[in-house]
A and B are shown apart, each in its own frame.
Chain A
Amino acid sequence: MAWETIIGLEVHVQLATRSKMFCACPNVFGAPPNTLTCPVCLGLPGVLPALNKQAVLFAVKTAKALNAQVHPHSLFARKNYFYPDLPKGYQISQYEQPLATTGKLEIETPGGTKVIGITRLHLEEDAGKLVHEAEFTRAGVSYVDLNRAGVPLMEIVSEPEISTPEEAMAYLRALRELVRYLKVSDGNMEEGSLRCDANVSVRPEGSRTLGTKAELKNMNSIRFVGKALAYEVERQVRVLESGGKVAQETLLWSEKLEKTLPMRSKEEAHDYRYFPEPDILPLAIEGERIEALPELPWDKRARFKRVYALTDEESGILTEHPALAEFYEALVEAFPNPKTASNWILVELLKTFRPKMNRLDFFPAVSPKRVARVLSMIEDGIINQSTAKDLLARLLEEDFDPEAFVAQQGLGQISDEKALLAWIDELFERHPSQVNEYLDGKEKVFGFFVGQLMKMSQGKANPRLLNTLLKQRFDARKPAS
């Protein structure tokens, strides 16, 4: 039997606001435990939340980019449950009347562009973290770190319209790219600033009824989401094909075991007793406060293809991070050969940029103007490709004036005919037998001379000119026919 997969994703995006959602504590990652806390985020008796306006504006911006309907009035709610990482005993979230509903996100699939519906987008606060690591803990003791408690989160829930693990991965990549473009989050899954839960079920192809779904958690990278979903789909098909029933349960992805494992049922038997948060007045959003959206990734991609005549792949990579796209455009402006500029970025510079491109504040560590001048020097025959590569590598390390450096270090190509002819003559004198071999028709020997001459010029001979001159000299020795 053929099976059809139905996946819906719930993504939590940590917002890159300066301070937390309801207090003035800094919103940063990696500080020593419990140093970024105050009475409010510790949930001390008597404190009240003061809503971070920036977080609201970030969520509205994202909702607009997702073409979602932003509601002029939305409500905060309390989600009640006990856990040591939840200082107030409830999480401030949104339940009835969320900030935005009914949006869409386009993803790229092998079959072309597909639109995935967005059910809702709402704001909530993050919880703290329990620390179980051996270095901190005695046996049987866990510690609570509340640095993360109260960090603003945006939850984005998709419609169950994702049909394969690959589509799920494409959806996450598109969402991550979007939040980076909007500068609302660094979208870094490894550090937990983008987290994903998945609801997945299968049903016989053509069936109209939905299968029983399982909820997957604990997938810490886009790749793990793909692996976990692929495993889970296969498991559910196996269960159904052997006549069994899929249980409605929450499963955790174990990367170590490469399988999904059921969570203990006690941990999921919650009645959250949602009710409107009385400490926060209903949120009123007025249209005029929303700043204009930047050019979104899909629009930028289309424009790069059209304006710079790039391939899908080239425009795709160059628009992965807004700072990279900006770098490319600045380079093309100073060096108006879009194709060559793209090649040099993709082949020479990208490998250095890549590791830092998962940061919101990523910025190419080299000035596009300097790169343009290096590329222009190739075009003008001043330097050759291998010198250019060395120069770019150096420019990534430190800033300097490439032309002055080339002149100073004598890195320029030798295009001086006299000098080149002198070297040719010297070489002919040292290797008369090879000269004769060439003249006898063994044209392979030509390469030997080029190699020797490059060595003599320390790689700086202008290769095109060298070829021409070498041919001229051989022609001169050929007996007149």
Chain B
Amino acid sequence: MPNLPFLTLAELRSGYSRKEFQPSEVIEAHLKRIEALNPELNAYLEVFGDGARDRARALDKKLAQGGPLGPLFGVPLAVKDVLCVEGTKTTCGSKMLEPFIAPYDASCIRRLRDQGAVFLGKTNMDEFAMGSSTENSAFGPTRNPFGLERVPGGSSGGSAAAVAAHLCQAALGSDTGGSIRQPAAFCGIVGLKPTYGRVSRYGLVAFASSLDQIGPMTKTSEDAAILFWAIAGHDPKDMTSSTRPVPPLEALFGQDPRRFRLGLPKEYFVEGMDQEVRDALLATLAKLEGLGIQVEEVSLPHTPYATAVYYIIATSEASSNLARYDGVKYGFSAKHADSMLELYERTRAAGFGLEVKRRIMLGTYALSAGYYEAYFKKAAQVRRLILEDFTRAFEKVDAIVSPTTPTPPFLLGEKIEDPLTMYLSDIYTNALNLAGLPGMSLPIARTGDGLPVGMQIIAPAFMEERLFCLGRLIEELTNPPIQGVPFDQPIA
């Protein structure tokens, strides 16, 4: 019997089809690891032990009956606690939603369920997906499996840590400014933010609606492609989801990356980029060039404005999206309020954490009469220029490469008191959300301290297959992609 939690999705599928093991054994192996390791990591907020076991037993029967198995059959998944799973708590890492039980499934959850996936539980996150370290969770921080004193990144830190420590086969995250890619880089896994509109947002608790995307967090590029393929496609419940057909799974690996031209944005090489991160990226690019791939400099001239534009748009939309948490209908509600206004004030003062309140204030300000033109409207104009930068660059190159984050994972508590420094964790990632483009982070190296370093690949809209093809090639060059994982011993 192989060490089940350490398999990839493709290995799991072939094991099932050869009946080497069955879903309940796979699920049980994961639940055991979670039981042993989660208390230390705090990756999961809730584990669906019995629910997952029941579901696995039903799948055992299906496996015994025979018939074709889809690529998601019996795959144990972790779900960021920002996605609604019917009948279970969806807290968004917030005291505000601590009592909230979702009465419906997010569209991507429904799709995965229909394809035979098994949900193991809900993972920790920065409150309402606002943060880069998972320290903004109301339920304590998640720790990085590569160094327990370090952050796993955020906001999808729980999902990233769960994948890295093999507490699931793969996980779902959400990415508004880098919240999948940055924790993927910090935890040495693969994280994909799909093109805006490629995956339905229905059932994803909104942070910033024009930027949010759900995406896979996996051990390999191939796994990312499989999970992406399973959740992508039009959903009539999300008007911003694209009607463009999703390519068949095989087509996601159908391109030869050796013929790609890659662009390296000169504006990304600025002060603040860690030397080891820089060296790791350039070394990987040198290997690619050795295979005949052309790497050239491109310019994204509006890059210096991206973080400012991002924080104006994201906080503006958030200030509106989070207005519904008022203590009237569901979730946390302050006691002993004497008036309606007092109920609102007390509920929101006690229910939201500091960072969320800071962003609601920023966004409310940016939308206010007298400031709207100078802030929100101006930001929306510059956002268009940022997209045009990318469009122009993609006239010359097939994909753009960059570090995912300026630094390796930092220490718990290191930046939490300094929000502006924390915001700079996003500088290579948030422009993609503004432009709606797909981007994937994958591990390329370890620092001298053994910490993961990630590389980001950016493709034109709806060209995710370029990311998977190039990703797979890079994994071959840096093989094995995940080495020296802590907790790599099987749990007895």
Contact = CB atoms under 8 A, between A and B. Distances in A.
A45 interface: yes
B237 A273 contact: no
Nearest to B83: A46
Interface stretch (B65-73, B154-162, B319-327): B319-327
A39 B329 contact: no
A43 B321 CA distance: 10
Contact of B376 (A46, A50, A144, A275): A275
Interface in B314-338: 316-317, 319-320, 322-324, 326, 328-330
Contact of B324 (A89, A273, A275, A279): A89
Contacts of A274: 367, 372
Given A89-B320, A90-B323, A281 B239 contact: yes
> Of residues B208, B328, B369, which shows the largest number of chain A Cβ atoms within 10 Å of its Cβ?
B328
B103 A44 contact: yes
B106 interface: yes
A22 to B, nearest CB: 9
Nearest to A130: B340
Contacts of A280: 239-240
A45 B367 contact: no
Nearest to B313: A278
Q: Which size bracket describes the interface of B in this complex?
A: 35 or more
A278 B210 contact: yes
Given A48-B238, A275-B372, A82 B344 contact: yes
> Of residues A51, A273, A276, which shows the largest number of chain B Cβ atoms within 10 Å of its Cβ?
A273
B99 to A, nearest CB: 12
B204 A46 contact: yes
B120 to A, nearest CB: 20
Interface string A277-321: 011110000000000000000000000000000000000000000
Interface in B206-244: 206, 208-210, 236-240
B237 A50 contact: yes
A336 interface: no
B259 to A, nearest CB: 35
A87 interface: yes
B372 A273 contact: yes
B323 A48 contact: no
B368 interface: yes
B423 interface: no
Contact of B329 (A82, A87, A271): A87
Contact of A46 (B202, B322, B329, B368): B202
B240 A273 contact: no
Given A43-B324, A273-B372, A49 B239 contact: yes
B84 interface: yes
Contacts of B320: 78, 80, 89-90, 273, 275
A271 B324 contact: no
A279 B328 contact: no
Contact of B323 (A46, A49, A89): A89
B364 A46 contact: no
A115 B323 CA distance: 42
B269 interface: no
B364 A144 contact: no
Interface string A71-90: 00000001010101001111
Contacts of B90: 45-46
Contacts of B97: 45
A47 interface: yes
A362 B361 CA distance: 52
A82 B92 contact: no
Given A51-B239, A273-B368, A82 B326 contact: yes
A94 to B, nearest CB: 15
A6 interface: no
A388 interface: no
Interface in B118-141: none
B80 to A, nearest CB: 12
B143 interface: no
B184 interface: no
Interface in A447-461: none
> Of residues B102, B203, B209, B320, which shows the largest number of chain A Cβ atoms within 10 Å of its Cβ?
B320
Given A45-B102, A278-B317, A88 B323 contact: yes
Contacts, number: 98
Given A39-B103, A84-B328, A87-B324, A50 B240 contact: no
A462 B30 CA distance: 100
Nearest to B197: A281
A46 B239 contact: no
A279 B100 CA distance: 23
Given A273-B372, A278-B209, A42 B323 contact: no
Interface in A27-49: 39, 42-49
Contacts of B329: 42-43, 87, 144
Contacts of B369: 271, 273
A271 B364 CA distance: 10
Contacts of B376: 275
A46 B238 CA distance: 11
Interface in A240-291: 271, 273-276, 278-281
A279 B240 contact: yes
B326 A45 contact: no
Contacts of B340: 84
B367 A80 contact: yes
A50 B239 contact: yes
Given A78-B320, A271-B368, A46 B84 contact: yes
Nearest to B316: A275
A6 B104 CA distance: 51
B208 to A, nearest CB: 8
B205 interface: yes
A39 B106 CA distance: 11
A49 B316 CA distance: 19
A273 B344 contact: no
A89 B344 CA distance: 11
Contacts of A49: 239
Contact of B239 (A45, A88, A279): A279
A45 B100 contact: yes
Interface string B74-109: 000000000110000010100001001011101000
Contacts of B166: none
B205 A46 contact: yes
Contacts of B236: 50
B238 A45 contact: no
B53 interface: no
A46 B203 contact: yes
A47 B206 CA distance: 8
B466 interface: no
A144 B380 CA distance: 36
A230 to B, nearest CB: 34
B201 interface: yes
Given A42-B329, A48-B240, 18 more contacts: A43-B329, A44-B330, A45-B97, A45-B102, A46-B102, A46-B202, A46-B203, A46-B204, A46-B206, A48-B237, A48-B239, A50-B237, A88-B323, A89-B320, A89-B326, A273-B364, A279-B240, A280-B239
Interface of A: 39, 42-51, 78, 80, 82, 84, 87-90, 144, 271, 273-276, 278-281
6 contacts: A46-B106, A82-B323, A82-B344, A89-B324, A273-B367, A275-B372
Interface of B: 83-84, 90, 92, 97, 100, 102-104, 106, 201-206, 208-210, 236-240, 316-317, 319-320, 322-324, 326, 328-330, 340, 344, 364, 367-369, 372, 376, 380
8 pairs of A and B residues whose beta carbons are closest in the complex: A89-B323, A278-B210, A273-B367, A278-B209, A45-B205, A46-B203, A46-B205, A46-B84
